[in-house]
Chain A
Amino acid sequence: QITLKESGPTLVKPTQTLTLTCTFSGFSLTTSGVGVAWIRQPPGKALEWLALIYWDDDKRYSPSLKSRLTITKDTSKNQVVLTMTNMDPVDTATYYCAHRPWGAKASNWFDPWGQGTLVTVSS
């Protein structure tokens, strides 16, 4: 059974850097084809893809947020970490991590997802 769980601060101040950790079980990020993505959802709004890291350490970022994001993995700990710099109130959202099972790198679908963690940006 694959599970993922997000952890990190629930409240950050504007201009601060957000660090979120996704701890997973039931799969290995060393298996060919596997990846982990971060996706966020502002309250009452749509999903937005942020970043994706593959088993071979290839990394992909949303073009609109690329300058602020860094995704890394620690295969020994079964964790993926996302950092987002210069946080703003508009970044208030539930942040999800999700498992990318396999396939060509252009074919990205996510199953399952973590439960999500709500991050509020406010002074």
Chain B
Amino acid sequence: QSALTQPPSASGSPGQSVTISCTGTSSDVGGYNYVSWYQQHPGKAPKLMIYEVSKRPSGVPDRFSGSKSGNTASLTVSGLQAEDEADYYCNSYAGSNNLIFGGGTKLTVL
């Protein structure tokens, strides 16, 4: 199973909105509503931001939202803030008890 496809980089100015895509196939992203997103600052452990496509854990700002259309899931960060600058990874169930991650997207706040 190949990794999910994410753009290597994304950027936006403070206050703007940015959307990061995560493209898979009908065997993973498109087949299940089991996509999660993680934020990782340099030298730190990943942090859960979204689970089951669009659910936000307690404590995660509502500026972060998730969605899915077909084989592509998306993470949108609204009202960009400096502290949002980080790497973001998507993850999906891929059937047959397998989980796969995306290649990661480096978000830069200009």
What is the interface of chain A, defined by CB distance below 8 A to chain B? 39, 46-49, 52, 60-63, 96, 103, 106-116
Contacts and interface: CB of A to CB of B under 8 A. Distances in A.
B12 to A, nearest CB: 22
A96 B43 CA distance: 13
Given A49-B91, A106-B34, 17 more contacts: A39-B46, A47-B104, A49-B101, A52-B99, A62-B99, A63-B98, A96-B45, A96-B46, A106-B93, A107-B34, A107-B51, A108-B34, A109-B34, A109-B51, A111-B51, A112-B47, A112-B48
Nearest to A113: B45
Contacts, number: 67
A115 B101 contact: no
Interface in B38-90: 38, 45-48, 51-52, 57, 89
Interface residues of B, number: 25
B45 A114 contact: yes
Interface centre among A52, A61, A106 (most CB of B within 10 A): A106
Interface of B: 1, 3, 32, 34, 36, 38, 45-48, 51-52, 57, 89, 91, 93, 96-104
A96 B46 CA distance: 9
B68 to A, nearest CB: 14
A21 B97 CA distance: 23
